[in-house]
Structure 1
Amino acid sequence: MQLTKTCLSLGLAMSISQFAFADWVDDAATKFEQHTIQLRHHIHANPELGNMEFKTSELVQKELRSYGIEVKKGFAKTGVIGVLKGTKPGPIMALRADMDALPMEEKAQVPFASKAKGIYQGAETPVAHACGHDTHTAMLLGAAKALAENKDKIAGTVVFIFQPAEEGGADIDNFLNGDQVGARKMIADGALNNPKPEVIFGMHVMAGMPSGNIFYKDGAALNSADGIRVTLTGQQVHGSMPWKGRDSIVAAADIIQNLQTMVSRRADLSKGMGVVSIGQIQGGTSGNILPEQVSMIGTIRSNHEDIRQSIFKNLPTMIDHTAQANDVKAKVEISPYAPVTTNDKTLTELMAPSLIQAAGEGKAHVLEHNQSASEDFSYYGQLMPSLFVFLGATPADQDMSKAAPNHNPYFIVDDKTLKTGVESHMRFILDYPKVASQVQSAWKAKK
C-alpha cells in the first residue's frame, strides 16, 4: 500500500487554527482511555457472530445508559441507537460502529484472546474479533462517555449507531437474504428516522498502518462487494465417453476464463477497476464420472459504480451464452452486498483539519488509492454526506509489511490507537457544526 503526503499538502482553505479547541478534548480522551481499553478487552474476549451480538448489545445499552444517553433498540435484531442532545442548537450528526466478530480461531498471543465458540450457518465454529470491530465498539463507547460528560460544549444532537452483522448474519443465508442484516436492515428498521442525522462518520482499524495514525481520501474509499452464484446443469456420463453426455466441468472452466473479460474487455477502466473472482467450485463424485451439475460461488469488486453496474448487466449474458456453447444450462444469481464506500468530497476536505488535531502533526495521511476491502457503511453514505477513515492498528515500531492483516488469525490491534479513535469521534462532532452549511449546500447541489 502506498501512502502519500499529509493532509497539510492539500492546501486547504481552512486552517487548523479555526478548529483548535482547548486541551479538554485531548484531556477527555486521555481520561477515559483506560475505560475504553478495558471495554475493548472484554468485548474481544467475548466475541459474538453477526445477528448474535446479544451480550455485546446489552453491554452497549448498559454503558450508554450509565452515561446518561437515551437508548433505543429493536433495530436489525441486536442493533442499538444512542441519542445525546447537546445544550447548544445545531445539526443532527451520526457516529457508527459495528459489533460483530468472525467465524474463525484466534491465534494472536494476547492475554485477552478469544476462546469463544458459536454457531455459524448451523455448525459450531471458533469465534474471534479478527477484524477489529471490538475496537470500533469500544472507541465509540469511549467517545460517547466523553461527549456526554461535556454535552454543554456540543452544538446539536449526536446519534450513536451500534450496528450488528457488518460481516453478514450467522443465522441466515447471506446470499439470499443479505438485505435482512447489517446497515440495510438498520436503515429499513428506521434506526435513522428519529432523530434523522444529516451527516455520518465512521472508521476502521487497519493492520499494516501505524498505530495512532489516520488515513483517508475523498471519493472511493473502499470497493463495492457483491456475490455471484452459478449453477450449471449438463448430462452425467462416464468419463470415457464424454460425447454421450454434456460436460458441466468444461463449461465451468470456459466460464471462469470468460469472466475475466467482464473487466478486461467490457469495463471502462478509465473510471476505475474491477475484479471478478470465483472462490468455490463444487461438482462431481468420482474422477471417471462427468457430473450433471457444477456450482460456483464468487465475488465481484469495483471502486466505481458504473463498472459495478456494467458487470451486473453483462455477466449473466456472457455466462448464459458460454453455457449454451457447451450445450449445458446455466442459472446465474447475483447478490448485492455493498456499493462503493464513497467519502463526500466537501465533507472530507473540511474535516481534514480535525483529523490532524486528533492524530497529531504528521500523522494524518492522504491515501493515493482506495482500500480493496468493502463495507456496508456505504449504504449510510447513499443517504447523507459521509466520511469513513482508517485508523492504524499496528504498533508504530513494527515492520508494517509483516503485520498480520485483518481477518487473519494473528491479527492484532495496538491498544494505544484507541485514544486517537476516541478523539477523532469527538472532533467530528465538535467541528462539523462549523462547516455544516457548506457541506449540506454542496450535497444538495450534487443531488
Structure 2
Amino acid sequence: MKDLRTRVRALAENHTPATVADRRHLHAHPELSFEEHETVAYVADRLDELSIPYRRLAGTGLVAEIRGGAGPTIALRADLDALPIQEANTVDYRSTREGVMHACGHDVHTASLLGTARILNELRAELPGTVRLLFQPGEEQLPGGATLMIRDGALKDPVPQALFGQHVHPPLPAGSVGFRPGIYMASTDELFLTIHGRGGHGAMPHQATDPIVVTAQVITALQQLVSRESDPTLPVVLTFGKIASAGGATNVIPNAVHLEGTLRTLDEDWRRELHQRLRRTAEGIASALGARAELEIRHGYPLLKNDEPLTHWARDAARELLGADRVVDLPIRMTGEDFAFYTHHLPACFYRLGVGSPSPVHTDTFDVDEDCLTTGSALMAWLAFRRLAGEGPQR
C-alpha cells in the first residue's frame, strides 16, 4: 500500500498542469444550472482523450466508467454548474460571461475529478473493479441535478458499493481536507408566503385590513415554532430573506405582502411536521386578523447524512495519504447540498477540500489556491482504489 500511495501522489503531481488548465478553462467559461452544454462537452472531450467510455444523461450530465478487474463498483461525483454572480477578480482566467461565475468551486470539483480520471486510467490494469465518474448538472437549483442523475440510472447496473464527493472549503488551507461522519448538512426548503389583506388609506386603517401588520405577527409566530416548539437540541433555521408589498406608500396600505424564506433542519420527521405547523400557524393568525395567508413550500434537498463507518474509514485513509495534521473534523452545517439525495440511496461520504481562500463561497471575489487540485485528484483516486481493494466497512 505504501507503493500505491507513492504512485498516486506522483501521478497527481504529474497531471497537475493539465488539471489546473482544466480548472482555468472551466472557470473562464461558467454556465448556470441545467445550462452546462459547453461544460459537459469539454468534459466529454477530455474523457475521449483518455479513451474512457461515457454516456450522457440528466440533460447536461454525464456518467463515465474506468473499468478494471471483475470487482465491485465505486462512484465519485463532481458538479458542473456556476452561479449568477458577476466576478470581481482580475485574474487571467476570470469569467468571460457577464453575470455568471464559478463562485462555489464547482470548477475545482470537475477539474479534480478529471485529474482523478487520469490517475486511475494509468492504474487501470491494477484496478480491482470499476470506478464510475458522475459529472452532475444543476447542484445550485431545485430540483437538484442529483435527483435527475438518480432518475436516469446513474446509481444502477450495478449499484455502487460506495459514493464519494468533495466540496471546496475556503477556511482550510490547500492540502487539507475535513470529514464529519453521520449527519452533516441540513435539509433545505423554500417558502413563498403571501398575506392578503385589503388596502386603503393610511390615515383610515379601520377601513382596511393591513397585511403589513398581519405579516409582522405571522413572522413572530412562525419564529416561535423554532424557539418554543422545536427541541432545543435539534438545529432548526427559519429565515425570511425577502419581504415586498404589493403597492403601498407612506399613506397607502397595500393589498398584500409577499415573503420568501428558507426552512432548514437536521431531522426529516420534524421537517415534515414543521411544514404542517407553518401552514396552520400562518393561516390561523391571518384568518384571526381578517386576512388570508397562502403558503407554498417547495421541497428542497434532504439532510445530508454521511455513512458513519464509510466516513470513519475515509478519514483514516486520508490521514495515510496526506498526513494526520492535514485531516480535520468538521462541525455540522446548516447549509444544504443536493449530494444529500445520494446519501439516502447508498453508503456515501461527502467531505471538504481545503482551498485556502480569504473569500467565502458565493462571493464575487472567491478564488482558490490551485494546489488544492493536486490534493483533490489524489484523494479521490486513493479512496476509490483502496475501497475497490476491499478495504473499509464490509456489509
Letter in 2 for 1:364: V
1:348 is paired with a residue whose SS is helix
Superposed displacement of residue 105, structure 1: 0.8
Aligned residue for 2:205? 242
User: Identity, % of aligned pairs?
Assistant: 34
Q: Distance in 2 between matches of 1:290 and 1:246?
A: 8
Aligned residue for 1:83? 65
Which of residues 242, 251, 272 is equivalent to 1:280?
242
Q: Distance in 1 between matches of 2:347 and 2:391?
A: 10
Which of residues 393, 415, 440 is equivalent to 2:355?
393
Which of residues 66, 91, 106 is equivalent to 2:49?
66
Whether the 8 Å contact between 1:351 and 1:431 is mirrored in structure 2 is no
Superposition map of 1:250-329 within 5 A: 250-270=213-233, 272-283=234-245, 284-329=247-292
Superposed displacement of residue 242, structure 1: 1.1
Letter in 1 for 2:369: D
Aligned residue for 1:33? 16
Superposed displacement of residue 141, structure 1: 0.6
Which of residues 52, 55, 60 is equivalent to 2:35?
52
Aligned residue for 2:185? 222
Letter in 2 for 1:44: H
Alignment TM-score, normalising by the size of structure 2: 0.96
Whether the 8 Å contact between 1:20 and 1:357 is mirrored in structure 2 is no
Report Cα offsets for 1:219-267 as digits up to 9, x if no partner: 1222221101111111111111111111111111111111211211111
Report Cα offsets for 1:320-356 as digits up to 9, x if no partner: 1111122111111111111111110110112222211
Q: Distance in 2 between matches of 1:165 and 1:45?
A: 18
**Pair 1:424–1:437, CA change in 2 (3 A):** closer
- Check if 1:233 corresponds to 2:206: no
Report Cα offsets for 1:380-421 as digits up to 9, x if no partner: 1100000000011116xxxxxxx2110011111110111010
Q: Distance in 2 between matches of 1:404 and 1:437?
A: 35
Superposed displacement of residue 372, structure 1: 2.9
Superposed displacement of residue 189, structure 1: 2.2
Superposition map of 1:130-169 within 5 A: 130-168=103-141
Alignment TM-score, normalising by the size of structure 1: 0.85
Instruction: Name the Cα RMSD after superposition.
Output: 1.6
Letter in 1 for 2:60: T
Which of residues 375, 378, 384 is equivalent to 1:423?
378
Deviates more, 1:428-437 or 1:357-366: 428-437
Q: Distance in 2 between matches of 1:71 and 1:62?
A: 11
Superposed displacement of residue 371, structure 1: 2.4
Q: Distance in 2 between matches of 1:438 and 1:374?
A: 26
Unpaired runs of 5+ residues, structure 2, are none
- Check if 1:43 corresponds to 2:16: no
Q: Distance in 1 between matches of 2:389 and 2:83?
A: 39
Unpaired runs of 5+ residues, structure 1, are 1-17, 118-125, 169-177, 396-402, 442-447
Deviates more, 1:220-229 or 1:29-38: 220-229
Whether the 8 Å contact between 1:19 and 1:431 is mirrored in structure 2 is no
Letter in 2 for 1:192: L
Aligned residue for 1:400? none
Q: Distance in 1 between matches of 2:109 and 2:16?
A: 14
Letter in 1 for 2:182: G
Letter in 2 for 1:254: Q
Q: Distance in 1 between matches of 2:219 and 2:2?
A: 53
Aligned residue for 1:407? 362
Letter in 2 for 1:154: L
Aligned residue for 1:114? 95
Which of residues 330, 346, 350 is equivalent to 1:384?
346
Letter in 2 for 1:407: H
Aligned residue for 1:101? 82
Letter in 2 for 1:93: I
Superposed displacement of residue 195, structure 1: 4.0
Superposed displacement of residue 435, structure 1: 4.6
Report Cα offsets for 1:271-312 as digits up to 9, x if no partner: x20100001111124221111111110001123334423322
Whether the 8 Å contact between 1:85 and 1:151 is mirrored in structure 2 is yes
Q: Distance in 2 between matches of 1:52 and 1:215?
A: 31
**Pair 1:253–1:22, CA change in 2 (3 A):** closer
2:352 is paired with a residue whose SS is strand
Whether the 8 Å contact between 1:207 and 1:406 is mirrored in structure 2 is yes
Q: Distance in 1 between matches of 2:321 and 2:272?
A: 37
2:298 is paired with a residue whose SS is strand
Q: Distance in 1 between matches of 2:277 and 2:322?
A: 44
**Pair 1:437–1:34, CA change in 2 (3 A):** closer
Q: Distance in 2 between matches of 1:287 and 1:189?
A: 53
Whether the 8 Å contact between 1:220 and 1:304 is mirrored in structure 2 is no
Whether the 8 Å contact between 2:15 and 2:115 is mirrored in structure 1 is yes
- Check if 1:364 corresponds to 2:327: yes
Q: Distance in 2 between matches of 1:22 and 1:414?
A: 23
Whether the 8 Å contact between 1:267 and 1:310 is mirrored in structure 2 is no
Aligned residue for 2:388? 433
Letter in 2 for 1:255: V
Whether the 8 Å contact between 2:5 and 2:382 is mirrored in structure 1 is no
Aligned residue for 1:7? none
Q: Distance in 1 between matches of 2:100 and 2:392?
A: 44
Whether the 8 Å contact between 1:19 and 1:354 is mirrored in structure 2 is no
Aligned residue for 1:120? none
2:81 is paired with a residue whose SS is coil
